[in-house]
Amino acid sequence: MGDVFVSRAITSTTIPSLTYVEGMIDQTAAELNRALAAAGYSAPISTGEIINRQWISGINEYGAAALVLGSMPMTAIAPGREDAGSNRMEMFQAFFNKALATIKAQELVAGRSRGRLGAVFTGSQEDSDGNRKLPSFKRGMDDFPGSRSLTE
């Protein structure tokens, strides 16, 4: 993106400013971490997972670049172009959206805060006070007076 700025650097005097760009980087990082947590992954990805951290770092840059380029007039992004489509902003946004879809589909091989079935419970559970709940169904609940069990 440096070619969009005259000095090839983003500073406090450029449009968008350094503060704005840093905000966009933070915003995309938050969105990625939210998606990771919603899919059951550890968020942020641990430092030991080098490949995944590098991948998510690149995706964060794509998302931030799309937001920054989207805030600029088209003449700054593609001088002389009459059409507003097929530009770098759309490319970066497509990469970012594909990454979010990958996370949502749980196709990322990364550490998880909970397993895929972490929210599925079977059998009796405890109530909020730690007391064991009785099961909804139990053996013999359909017995009625005069019935006879085959095990007697």
Euclidean distance between the first and the last CA atom of the chain, given in angstroms as a whole number: 82
pLDDT digits (tens, 9 = 90+) for 120-146: 555 556 667 777 766 555 555 555 555
pTM for this prediction: 0.62
pLDDT digits (tens, 9 = 90+) for 14-49: 878 889 999 999 999 999 999 999 888 888 888 888
Residue 132 in 3-state DSSP? strand
Question: How many angstroms separate the CA atoms of 38 and 55, rounded?
Answer: 18
Nearest to 68 by CA among 8, 31, 27: 27
pLDDT digits (tens, 9 = 90+) for 48-101: 889 999 999 999 999 998 888 888 766 555 566 555 455 778 888 888 999 999
